Amino acid sequence: MSVKQNKILIFGAGVIGSAYAIKFIEAGIDVTMFARSNRLKTLKENGIQYNKNNMVKSIKVDVIDTLENDDIYDFIFVTVRYDQSESALLALKDNQSKNIVTMINNSIGFSSWLDIVGDRLLPAFPGIGGQIKDGILYARFPPKALAVAMFGEISGLMTERAENLAKLFEAAKIPYKITKDIKSFLITHSVFDIAMISILHFENKIIDEKTARTKKTAQRITFTLKTYLRAIQKAGVIINPSAFKIVLKCPNFVLDFFFMIWLRTNMVKDMMLPAFANNANKENVRLNMDLLNFLRQNGVVPQERKPRNT
Protein backbone atom coordinates (compact mmCIF):
# COMPACT_ATOMS: atom_id res chain seq x y z
CA MET A 1 0.00 0.00 0.00
CA SER A 2 1.65 3.24 -1.14
CA VAL A 3 1.35 6.48 0.76
CA LYS A 4 -0.57 8.13 -2.09
CA GLN A 5 -3.34 5.52 -1.72
CA ASN A 6 -3.87 6.20 1.95
CA LYS A 7 -7.23 7.64 2.93
CA ILE A 8 -7.06 9.47 6.25
CA LEU A 9 -9.74 10.65 8.66
CA ILE A 10 -8.77 13.09 11.38
CA PHE A 11 -11.33 12.86 14.18
CA GLY A 12 -10.98 16.13 16.04
CA ALA A 13 -10.40 19.52 14.46
CA GLY A 14 -8.41 21.26 17.18
CA VAL A 15 -4.74 22.21 17.17
CA ILE A 16 -3.30 18.73 16.73
CA GLY A 17 -5.81 17.56 14.15
CA SER A 18 -5.55 20.76 12.12
CA ALA A 19 -1.74 20.82 12.16
CA TYR A 20 -1.51 17.19 11.06
CA ALA A 21 -4.15 17.72 8.38
CA ILE A 22 -2.06 20.51 6.85
CA LYS A 23 1.04 18.32 6.78
CA PHE A 24 -0.80 15.40 5.18
CA ILE A 25 -2.64 17.55 2.61
CA GLU A 26 0.61 19.25 1.57
CA ALA A 27 2.06 15.76 1.01
CA GLY A 28 -0.79 14.94 -1.39
CA ILE A 29 -2.56 12.55 0.97
CA ASP A 30 -6.36 12.16 0.90
CA VAL A 31 -7.54 13.82 4.15
CA THR A 32 -10.99 14.22 5.66
CA MET A 33 -11.64 15.96 8.97
CA PHE A 34 -14.47 15.26 11.40
CA ALA A 35 -15.69 18.43 13.10
CA ARG A 36 -18.79 19.88 14.69
CA SER A 37 -20.44 23.18 15.61
CA ASN A 38 -18.59 26.41 14.83
CA ARG A 39 -15.38 24.62 13.85
CA LEU A 40 -17.28 22.64 11.21
CA LYS A 41 -18.74 25.83 9.75
CA THR A 42 -15.36 27.58 9.75
CA LEU A 43 -13.59 24.70 8.02
CA LYS A 44 -16.29 24.44 5.35
CA GLU A 45 -16.24 28.17 4.64
CA ASN A 46 -12.54 28.98 5.00
CA GLY A 47 -10.61 25.72 5.04
CA ILE A 48 -7.89 25.42 7.66
CA GLN A 49 -6.59 28.90 8.36
CA TYR A 50 -3.12 28.99 9.85
CA ASN A 51 -0.31 31.36 10.67
CA LYS A 52 2.93 30.92 8.79
CA ASN A 53 5.74 33.47 9.10
CA ASN A 54 3.25 36.00 10.52
CA MET A 55 0.95 35.61 7.52
CA VAL A 56 -2.50 33.99 7.55
CA LYS A 57 -2.82 31.23 4.99
CA SER A 58 -5.59 28.78 4.17
CA ILE A 59 -5.74 25.24 2.85
CA LYS A 60 -8.88 23.43 1.70
CA VAL A 61 -9.94 20.24 3.45
CA ASP A 62 -12.88 17.88 3.14
CA VAL A 63 -14.89 18.03 6.35
CA ILE A 64 -17.75 15.90 7.70
CA ASP A 65 -19.89 15.86 10.82
CA THR A 66 -21.38 12.38 10.38
CA LEU A 67 -19.48 9.12 10.04
CA GLU A 68 -21.19 6.02 8.70
CA ASN A 69 -20.06 2.57 9.80
CA ASP A 70 -19.03 1.68 6.24
CA ASP A 71 -17.02 4.89 5.71
CA ILE A 72 -13.67 3.11 5.70
CA TYR A 73 -10.30 4.86 6.07
CA ASP A 74 -6.78 3.42 6.10
CA PHE A 75 -6.05 5.35 9.29
CA ILE A 76 -8.31 7.28 11.64
CA PHE A 77 -6.34 9.73 13.77
CA VAL A 78 -8.12 10.60 16.99
CA THR A 79 -6.86 14.02 18.06
CA VAL A 80 -9.00 15.00 21.03
CA ARG A 81 -8.13 15.72 24.67
CA TYR A 82 -7.70 12.84 27.10
CA ASP A 83 -10.91 13.73 28.92
CA GLN A 84 -12.76 13.36 25.59
CA SER A 85 -11.02 10.15 24.51
CA GLU A 86 -13.62 7.57 25.52
CA SER A 87 -16.53 9.48 23.97
CA ALA A 88 -14.54 9.87 20.72
CA LEU A 89 -13.70 6.16 20.60
CA LEU A 90 -17.31 5.23 21.33
CA ALA A 91 -18.29 7.26 18.25
CA LEU A 92 -15.89 5.08 16.24
CA LYS A 93 -16.81 1.77 17.86
CA ASP A 94 -18.90 0.43 14.98
CA ASN A 95 -16.95 1.99 12.14
CA GLN A 96 -15.24 -0.66 10.03
CA SER A 97 -11.86 1.08 9.63
CA LYS A 98 -9.06 -1.18 10.86
CA ASN A 99 -6.53 1.29 12.26
CA ILE A 100 -7.35 3.88 14.92
CA VAL A 101 -4.38 6.02 15.93
CA THR A 102 -4.99 7.74 19.27
CA MET A 103 -2.81 10.84 19.37
CA ILE A 104 -3.76 11.46 22.96
CA ASN A 105 -2.08 11.74 26.35
CA ASN A 106 -2.69 8.74 28.62
CA SER A 107 -1.74 8.24 32.27
CA ILE A 108 -3.03 4.71 32.95
CA GLY A 109 -2.74 2.44 29.91
CA PHE A 110 -5.19 1.21 27.34
CA SER A 111 -7.67 -1.20 28.95
CA SER A 112 -10.73 1.05 28.58
CA TRP A 113 -9.77 2.03 25.02
CA LEU A 114 -9.24 -1.60 24.01
CA ASP A 115 -12.65 -2.47 25.43
CA ILE A 116 -14.16 -0.02 22.94
CA VAL A 117 -12.17 -0.46 19.70
CA GLY A 118 -10.20 -3.64 20.29
CA ASP A 119 -6.98 -4.41 18.43
CA ARG A 120 -7.63 -1.63 15.94
CA LEU A 121 -5.98 0.64 18.51
CA LEU A 122 -2.54 2.02 17.67
CA PRO A 123 -1.48 4.47 20.43
CA ALA A 124 0.58 7.51 19.55
CA PHE A 125 1.54 10.99 20.70
CA PRO A 126 1.65 14.05 18.41
CA GLY A 127 4.76 15.89 19.61
CA ILE A 128 3.40 19.32 18.66
CA GLY A 129 1.34 22.06 20.30
CA GLY A 130 -0.10 25.52 19.82
CA GLN A 131 -3.47 27.21 19.89
CA ILE A 132 -6.37 28.25 17.68
CA LYS A 133 -7.19 31.91 18.10
CA ASP A 134 -10.04 33.60 16.22
CA GLY A 135 -10.23 30.55 13.96
CA ILE A 136 -6.54 30.73 13.03
CA LEU A 137 -4.13 27.93 13.89
CA TYR A 138 -0.87 28.89 15.56
CA ALA A 139 1.01 25.59 15.60
CA ARG A 140 4.26 24.97 17.43
CA PHE A 141 6.61 22.32 16.11
CA PRO A 142 9.38 21.89 18.69
CA PRO A 143 12.93 21.02 17.59
CA LYS A 144 13.38 17.31 16.85
CA ALA A 145 15.69 17.02 19.83
CA LEU A 146 12.84 18.02 22.15
CA ALA A 147 9.75 16.33 20.73
CA VAL A 148 8.67 14.16 17.81
CA ALA A 149 5.60 12.10 17.04
CA MET A 150 5.79 8.84 18.98
CA PHE A 151 3.89 5.64 18.31
CA GLY A 152 4.11 1.93 18.77
CA GLU A 153 2.09 -1.24 19.03
CA ILE A 154 0.94 -2.11 22.54
CA SER A 155 2.64 -5.48 22.05
CA GLY A 156 5.95 -3.78 21.29
CA LEU A 157 6.19 -5.65 17.97
CA MET A 158 6.86 -4.08 14.59
CA THR A 159 3.82 -4.63 12.36
CA GLU A 160 2.91 -3.84 8.78
CA ARG A 161 0.54 -1.09 9.86
CA ALA A 162 3.24 0.51 12.03
CA GLU A 163 5.55 0.50 9.02
CA ASN A 164 2.81 2.06 6.88
CA LEU A 165 2.22 4.75 9.50
CA ALA A 166 5.95 5.50 9.50
CA LYS A 167 5.86 5.88 5.70
CA LEU A 168 2.92 8.25 6.08
CA PHE A 169 4.85 10.45 8.51
CA GLU A 170 7.90 10.40 6.25
CA ALA A 171 5.83 11.51 3.27
CA ALA A 172 4.38 14.37 5.33
CA LYS A 173 7.84 15.26 6.72
CA ILE A 174 6.65 14.71 10.27
CA PRO A 175 9.52 13.69 12.57
CA TYR A 176 8.66 10.49 14.40
CA LYS A 177 10.02 7.68 16.53
CA ILE A 178 8.68 4.19 17.10
CA THR A 179 8.81 2.97 20.69
CA LYS A 180 8.52 -0.59 21.93
CA ASP A 181 6.83 0.59 25.14
CA ILE A 182 4.24 3.20 24.20
CA LYS A 183 2.40 2.74 27.51
CA SER A 184 5.44 3.75 29.57
CA PHE A 185 6.15 6.64 27.22
CA LEU A 186 2.65 8.06 27.57
CA ILE A 187 2.55 7.65 31.34
CA THR A 188 5.97 9.29 31.66
CA HIS A 189 4.88 12.16 29.43
CA SER A 190 1.68 12.57 31.44
CA VAL A 191 3.74 12.97 34.61
CA PHE A 192 5.61 15.89 33.02
CA ASP A 193 2.35 17.49 31.88
CA ILE A 194 0.75 17.03 35.29
CA ALA A 195 3.75 18.59 37.03
CA MET A 196 4.00 21.59 34.72
CA ILE A 197 0.38 22.39 33.84
CA SER A 198 -1.20 21.81 37.26
CA ILE A 199 1.21 24.29 38.84
CA LEU A 200 -0.19 27.04 36.62
CA HIS A 201 -3.56 26.66 38.36
CA PHE A 202 -4.49 27.32 41.95
CA GLU A 203 -7.96 26.64 43.36
CA ASN A 204 -9.26 26.19 39.79
CA LYS A 205 -7.95 29.61 38.75
CA ILE A 206 -5.09 30.47 36.42
CA ILE A 207 -2.25 32.04 38.37
CA ASP A 208 -0.97 35.43 37.26
CA GLU A 209 2.20 35.87 35.22
CA LYS A 210 4.15 37.37 38.12
CA THR A 211 3.38 34.40 40.38
CA ALA A 212 4.21 31.96 37.58
CA ARG A 213 7.73 33.34 37.32
CA THR A 214 8.64 32.92 40.98
CA LYS A 215 11.16 30.48 42.39
CA LYS A 216 8.43 28.96 44.53
CA THR A 217 6.47 27.97 41.43
CA ALA A 218 9.56 26.38 39.91
CA GLN A 219 10.18 24.48 43.15
CA ARG A 220 6.65 23.12 43.11
CA ILE A 221 7.17 21.79 39.57
CA THR A 222 10.45 20.13 40.57
CA PHE A 223 8.90 18.54 43.65
CA THR A 224 5.79 17.27 41.83
CA LEU A 225 7.80 15.92 38.90
CA LYS A 226 10.28 13.99 41.03
CA THR A 227 7.54 12.69 43.33
CA TYR A 228 5.48 11.31 40.45
CA LEU A 229 8.46 9.88 38.56
CA ARG A 230 9.49 7.92 41.68
CA ALA A 231 5.86 6.80 42.13
CA ILE A 232 5.43 5.41 38.62
CA GLN A 233 8.75 3.58 38.96
CA LYS A 234 7.46 1.92 42.14
CA ALA A 235 4.31 0.99 40.22
CA GLY A 236 6.43 -0.85 37.66
CA VAL A 237 6.41 1.76 34.89
CA ILE A 238 9.72 2.15 33.07
CA ILE A 239 10.65 5.81 32.60
CA ASN A 240 10.57 6.31 28.84
CA PRO A 241 12.60 7.85 27.28
CA SER A 242 15.25 6.55 29.67
CA ALA A 243 17.08 9.89 29.41
CA PHE A 244 14.37 11.34 31.65
CA LYS A 245 15.84 9.32 34.53
CA ILE A 246 18.41 12.09 34.81
CA VAL A 247 15.65 14.24 36.36
CA LEU A 248 15.72 12.02 39.46
CA LYS A 249 19.49 12.37 39.77
CA CYS A 250 19.58 16.08 39.03
CA PRO A 251 19.93 18.40 42.07
CA ASN A 252 16.75 20.29 42.85
CA PHE A 253 18.36 23.69 42.49
CA VAL A 254 19.38 22.84 38.90
CA LEU A 255 15.84 21.82 37.99
CA ASP A 256 14.46 24.87 39.79
CA PHE A 257 16.70 27.07 37.65
CA PHE A 258 15.61 25.29 34.46
CA PHE A 259 11.91 25.68 35.28
CA MET A 260 12.37 29.34 36.22
CA ILE A 261 13.68 29.90 32.69
CA TRP A 262 10.87 27.81 31.18
CA LEU A 263 8.24 29.76 33.11
CA ARG A 264 9.36 32.93 31.32
CA THR A 265 8.84 31.56 27.79
CA ASN A 266 6.12 32.51 25.31
CA MET A 267 4.94 28.92 25.47
CA VAL A 268 3.99 29.35 29.13
CA LYS A 269 2.32 32.69 28.35
CA ASP A 270 0.15 30.87 25.80
CA MET A 271 -0.61 28.14 28.34
CA MET A 272 -1.97 30.79 30.71
CA LEU A 273 -4.41 32.24 28.17
CA PRO A 274 -7.95 31.35 29.33
CA ALA A 275 -9.00 29.70 26.04
CA PHE A 276 -6.07 27.32 26.24
CA ALA A 277 -5.61 27.04 29.98
CA ASN A 278 -9.16 26.03 30.84
CA ASN A 279 -9.19 23.16 28.33
CA ALA A 280 -5.68 22.07 29.28
CA ASN A 281 -6.65 22.07 32.93
CA LYS A 282 -9.72 19.89 32.28
CA GLU A 283 -7.49 17.34 30.58
CA ASN A 284 -4.84 17.63 33.25
CA VAL A 285 -7.27 17.12 36.14
CA ARG A 286 -8.49 13.89 34.53
CA LEU A 287 -4.93 12.73 33.81
CA ASN A 288 -3.95 13.37 37.42
CA MET A 289 -7.02 11.69 38.86
CA ASP A 290 -6.55 8.58 36.72
CA LEU A 291 -2.82 8.44 37.44
CA LEU A 292 -3.44 8.55 41.20
CA ASN A 293 -5.98 5.72 40.85
CA PHE A 294 -3.49 3.72 38.77
CA LEU A 295 -0.80 4.20 41.42
CA ARG A 296 -3.13 3.20 44.27
CA GLN A 297 -4.15 0.05 42.37
CA ASN A 298 -0.45 -0.81 42.26
CA GLY A 299 0.04 -0.17 45.97
CA VAL A 300 1.78 3.20 45.56
CA VAL A 301 0.80 6.41 47.32
CA PRO A 302 2.78 9.49 46.18
CA GLN A 303 4.64 11.41 48.88
CA GLU A 304 2.39 14.07 50.38
CA ARG A 305 4.91 16.40 52.05
CA LYS A 306 5.35 19.85 50.60
CA PRO A 307 8.53 21.04 48.90
CA ARG A 308 10.93 22.99 51.10
CA ASN A 309 10.85 26.73 50.44
CA THR A 310 14.21 28.43 50.15
pLDDT tens, 197-219? 888 887 677 888 888 889 999 99
What pLDDT is attached to residue 2? 44
Rounded to two decimals, the pTM is 0.92
Report yes or no on 158 lying in a domain. yes
Task: Give yes or no: residues 97 and 50 share one domain.
Answer: yes
Domain boundary among the residues 137, 162, 180 is at 180
In b/e form, how buried is each residue of 224-242, taking b as 16+ CB within 10 angstroms? bbbbbbebbeebebebbee
Q: Could you tell me if residue 308 is inside a domain?
A: no
- The CA-atom distances, in angstroms, between 284 and each of 136, 199, 204 are 24, 11, 12
Alpha-carbon span 154 to 31, nearest angstrom = 26
> Taking residues 214-240, what's their average pLDDT?
95
- Whether residue 134 is predicted with pLDDT greater than 60 in this model: the reply is yes
Same domain, 72 and 115: yes
Q: Whole-number mean pLDDT of the chain? A: 91
pLDDT tens for each residue of 270-307: 777 666 677 778 899 999 999 999 999 999 988 654 55
Q: How many CB atoms lie within 10 A of CB 90?
A: 11
Whether 224 and 75 map to the same domain: the answer is no
Beta strands in the chain (DSSP E): 7-11, 30-34, 48-52, 55-59, 62-64, 75-78, 100-103, 121-125, 129-133, 136-140, 149-151, 176-178, 201-202, 205-206
Residue after which a domain boundary falls, among 180, 207, 223:
180
Phi, psi (deg, nearest 5) at residue 278: -65, -45
Q: Is the pLDDT of residue 309 over 60?
A: no
Same domain for 194 and 272, yes or no, is: yes
Domain match, 170 and 225 both: no
What pLDDT sits at residue 273?
Answer: 67
Q: Is 305 among the domain residues?
A: no
pLDDT at 133 over 90: no
Task: Report how far residue 228's alpha carbon sits from residue 252's, in angstroms, rounded to the nearest whole number.
Answer: 15
Range of the domain at 278: 184-297
Q: Are residues 134 and 203 in the same domain?
A: no
The answer to which of 60-64, 143-147, 213-217, 239-243 has the lowest mean pLDDT is 143-147
**Are both 164 and 217 inside the same structural domain?**
no
The string of DSSP codes covering 113-179 is: HHHHHGGGEEEEE---EEEEETTEEEEE---TTT--EEE--TT----HHHHHHHHHHHHTT--EEE-
Residues 170 and 188 reside in one and the same domain: no
At 178, is the pLDDT very low, low, confident or very high (cuts 50, 70, 90)?
very high
Over residues 11-59, the pLDDT tens digits come to 999 999 999 999 999 999 999 999 999 999 999 999 999 999 889 999 9
Structural domains counted in the chain: 2
Given a cut of 90, whether residue 142 has pLDDT beyond it is no
Identify which of 267, 262, 276 has the alpha carbon closest to the alpha carbon of residue 201.
276
Q: Choose the weakest-confidence range: 65-74, 103-112, 279-288.
A: 279-288
Q: Are residues 221 and 161 in the same domain?
A: no
Residues 156 and 221 reside in one and the same domain? no
In a domain, 304, yes or no: no
Residue 77 counted as domain residue: yes
